[in-house]
Every structure is written in structure tokens, then in C-alpha cells.
Chain A
């Protein structure tokens, strides 16, 4: 939902970044207001995933220029955990398996870290179980997954549902979902997209990183951005995604050249 007077949540200005000696982002500009859903599309290697990981604070990427403001605050000077606590969420393309760490315990510690930041009381194990069981319904997840180690032995679809469950518990202001649709069959895709739609509201914003139109059939974006060679090359409405699906990225190559 586009409201020109809605508060600005994320403001990326002329962002440059590299991994090791390789420049990846070469001047990204993007403004995200509350209530908006943005889709970032582009070929492999265009810089989409780098942008999402960098916003979450992944240590492998170093910023070489530009700025990122989150509600007016310099995001880049914060540790990854501080970014998460103030409301930045990254849904991983490949959620990490952590043997021996209970999923329930992990979700509780993470939820409480965010609650403390917001000035809410920490939840004890009983109150948290009530909350998590309610949020499980959003992604139609079997409670048995709470008893297992984080993502260990989960199928691709179960891992992505676990990501959306975390999003539902952390209630971020900006959710960046990095190829959440990859590796999902159509039923799992519907459940995951349904969860994202239910969580999207007037006070938060969603950034969908995706290759495919099929996710955007289920989650209607307000803006579609096309990334190439480390920049946002073009911005449009949802019709831009339809055009990309029809004509591919050849025109992008011509513009970059």
C-alpha cells in the first residue's frame, strides 16, 4: 500500500560494497516506506543477495561507499544482532542447520531479545509456548518441529516455513526475504506467501528478493525493481515483473552495455 506520507523506514543511498576484492554493489538507491511491498528482481550475480545480506550485517561484505538509514538511524554501524532487535529481519535463502540447538529455545531467545529492545517483558517458557503455538498456525507447521534442532533435517519447505515463523515472532519493521520462493513446491509456496501477506501491515514493509513472477502472483508488490551489475536499473509497478517474465532480461544486458 503506497502512502506518500507514511514514515520512511529504510533509505539506501548510493550504496557501494564488495566481498573480498570484488566490487558487487555499485551505487544502489532505494527508499522504503511503511506499508510498502517491494520486489527486487534480477539475474544471478546482479547483487540482490549481497544487498539483502549486507542490510542484515553479514561480516563477509564490506561497505565502500554510501549510506543506509533505518528510521533515520545509521544501520551500517550496528552489529547484526542490534539490527535484528530494532526490527530488520532477513529471511535466508538457505536457512542454516544448527545441530544440538533446540528450535524452541532458539526462537524464545530471539523473540525475547527483540521484546526487550521494544520495552516489552521477556516471555517465560510457558508464555512463549502459547505464543509460538498460535503463530505456528500462520505457516501450518507441525509443533513437532519445535522440539528438533534448528533446521536440522528439515525439508526445503519446512526450513522456509521456519523462517516465516521467526518473522511472525519477531514482528520486524522491515522484512527482507531472500529468494524465499526457491526450492518450494506450489503448496509450500502458497503457505509461505500466505504467511507473508498476513504479516504485511500498514506499519511494516517487505522487501522480496526473487527471480520469479510466480511469488508475485501471490504477494502483490507496490514496486518492482530490476537490479543489474550492482545497481537498480529500473523501477516500476507490478506490470514490470510481468514484462520481465515475458521478455526476459536481454533488454537489461543492452542497457548495462
Chain B
């Protein structure tokens, strides 16, 4: 069932953000219907602070609030994120805030944000400052079981030579919404691996924005988004190279079933200063139903002349020759389809931080019984 918007909620959300909800006339929101977000109760989540129980491994320390706020503002400005509507909404919604500084190589960390059966809007902010040479593997695990909304703003600053392996595992609920904005600044010689796996939300919107502040960094993005029923999943990514010798390797995969809708917009910006940038973006979509819809758009702005920027997009059904090959070995058509689908998803899921394995991401996202 499509979500019914509550007029009161729309006004409340607009008030929190300090501006009206984005509409279909705005290019960035052209395909994205915010009705599920307006179907949540007009109240802030009243559950416990999800960060209060968080125990931190050695090498990670909390940043004092005043300094944390300053760093957060800087991080959002560096990626041009301050004016984004999901960020404005988040800031107006008295978010729970966790600000961490990482030195050296630390133990893997997992943070769980489960809106569970809670009501209203759960707003969270996460600031990660990786000092030069620091290394962190972090899994963010979202969840929901009701008509609620989660808003997360993540700001990360990677110092020179720092390595961040950030995974987002977000199995949702067909009544719930997830808005996640990531603002990541990378100093030279830093490495980012961002792997997101999201499925099952009435509405999900991911906005990873990455800025290589002086180029010469590595950004590796892997994403899988699954939609079925009436669900909508939207990813608007943006990678900005502000100096030479930067690298991007981006793969965005989609599985669209039922009357689900998937949106991908992948912006890559290579100004004149970003010579010798090497960027590759591939979008692959699997359509499992006649009613599902996929909108995919690469958006490359290249001014520098000495660059390699490859992009590609495919939309297809399960490959008949692959199905027949499996069937010809005695594997029934439905089991063969499932094997192919699992293989397709696993290409992204196997890149999540190791901590994700215990949650069985394939079964979670494909909604298979254990």
C-alpha cells in the first residue's frame, strides 16, 4: 500500500528543516516521492540515545562538544552539504551526536541504529576524524519495524594516509524511511572504502558526498540497493576532485522487483586542477518484474584534459544463458534464479566490513527465511 501523507507531518518536517519539503520539480528529487516520510507521526523519537551504550575500542576517543560542532560544520561545508534538505532536517531535529577521533590502527567498530517499533523521527549525527595514518573499519547497522523515519548525517575527515572502511547495512521495513547523508573529506594518500547495502524501506535516500580536498586519494564505492513492493530507493552520489591524481572506483548495483523504484544519480566532478584523475563508475540494474522501474544517470563534469573517466550503465533481466547453464546441471529454474540473484548481490555484500557477516546480509536483504 502506498503511504498516506499526514498534512501535519509535512508542515512539521518543513519547520524542522527551515524550508518546505523538496518537490518533484527539483531536479535532485524528480523521481523521489517523500510520501512515506510524511506518513510518520510528527514527533521526535523518544527512545534512549543509541550512542549512550557505545563502548569504544582503544585508539578511539570522544571529541568535546564545542570542537565537534565546529568540525562537523567544516566537514559539511567542504562537501557543499550544508544546504542539502536531509542535512537541514537532521540539524533541526535535535540529533543524537557522536563525535570520535581515531588515532593509529584500531579494532573494528559497529554502531547499530535500530528505530525498531519506535514512533516518529530518529535523528543522528556521527563525526569521524581520522588522524594522519589512522585506520578504522566501521559498520553502521540500521533497522526498523514500523512507520518511522531515521535521519543520519555522517561527517568523516580522513587525514593524510588514513584508511576508512565504512559499511552501511540497512535492511528496512516497508513502512519506514531512511535518509542518510554522508560528507567525507579525504586528504592526499587517504583511502576510503564505502560499501552500502540497503533494501526493504518504503523510502531510502543515500547521499554520499566525497571530496578529495587536494586529489591524490583513493575512493572506492560499492552499493547495492533492493526494492520490491511499492518501495523506493534513491542514491545521489557525488565525488569531487579538488586536486590531481585522484582515483575513484564506483560500482552501483540495483535489484528491482514488484512495483519498486530505484533511482541512481552519480555525479563526478573533475575541475581543471584535477589532472590525471582516474575515475570509473558502473551502474548495473537487475529488473525482476515488468512493473519495477529503474532510473539511472551518470553525471560527469570534466574540465581537466588529462584524465581517465569511464562510466557505464546496464539494465537487464536475469541472463537466460546463465539460467540455462545451471538448469542443464539439474538445478531447478527457481533455485537457479535464486543462485544467480545471490551471486549478483554478493559481489557487493562480500565487501562489507567483516562484522556484517554475522547478520547474514544476503538473507536479510533478500528476505529469505533462515
Contacts and interface: CB of A to CB of B under 8 A. Distances in A.
Interface of A: 56-59, 79-81, 83-85, 89-90, 92, 95-96, 98-101, 105-106, 109-110, 113-114, 117, 149-150, 166, 170
B330 A85 contact: yes
Nearest to A91: B328
Given A57-B327, A59-B324, A80-B327, A106 B339 contact: yes
A85 B329 CA distance: 8
A150 B319 CA distance: 14
B327 A98 contact: no
Contacts of B335: 109
Nearest to B339: A101
B310 interface: no
A170 B330 contact: yes
Nearest to B344: A100
B57 interface: no
B331 interface: yes
Contacts of B347: 99-100
A170 B329 contact: yes
Contacts of B342: 100-101
12 contacts: A56-B328, A57-B328, A58-B324, A59-B320, A59-B324, A84-B329, A100-B346, A106-B326, A109-B331, A109-B335, A110-B326, A113-B329
Nearest to B350: A100
A84 B343 contact: no
B321 interface: yes
B56 interface: no
Instruction: With a 10 A CB-CB cut-off, give which of A57, A59, A101 has the most chain B CB atoms.
Output: A101
A150 B326 CA distance: 10
A110 B329 contact: yes
Nearest to A152: B343
B332 A100 contact: no
A98 B343 contact: yes
Contacts of A149: 343
B interface: dominant SS: helix
B333 interface: yes
B329 A106 contact: yes
Given A95-B325, A99-B347, A100-B344, A84 B339 contact: no
Contacts of B320: 59
Contact of B330 (A58, A92, A96, A117): A117
B340 interface: yes
Contacts of B322: 96, 98
Contacts of B327: 57, 79-81, 84
Contacts of A166: 329
List 7 tightest A-B contacts by C-beta distance, closest first: A100-B343, A113-B330, A110-B329, A84-B330, A101-B343, A80-B327, A96-B325
A114 B295 CA distance: 42
Nearest to B335: A109
A222 to B, nearest CB: 25
Instruction: With a 10 A CB-CB cut-off, give which of B327, B330, B335, B339 has the most chain A CB atoms.
Output: B330
A100 B349 CA distance: 10
B321 A96 contact: yes
A87 to B, nearest CB: 10
Contacts of B326: 98, 106, 110
A110 B340 contact: no
Contacts of B344: 99-100
A90 B325 CA distance: 9
B325 A98 contact: yes
Nearest to B348: A100
Contacts of B321: 96
A99 B343 contact: yes
B333 A101 contact: no
A170 B331 CA distance: 12
Contact of A92 (B325, B333, B336, B340): B325
Contacts of B346: 100
Contacts of B329: 81, 84, 106, 110, 113, 166, 170
A161 B321 CA distance: 20
A80 B331 CA distance: 9
A101 B331 CA distance: 13
A58 B322 CA distance: 11
B328 A90 contact: yes
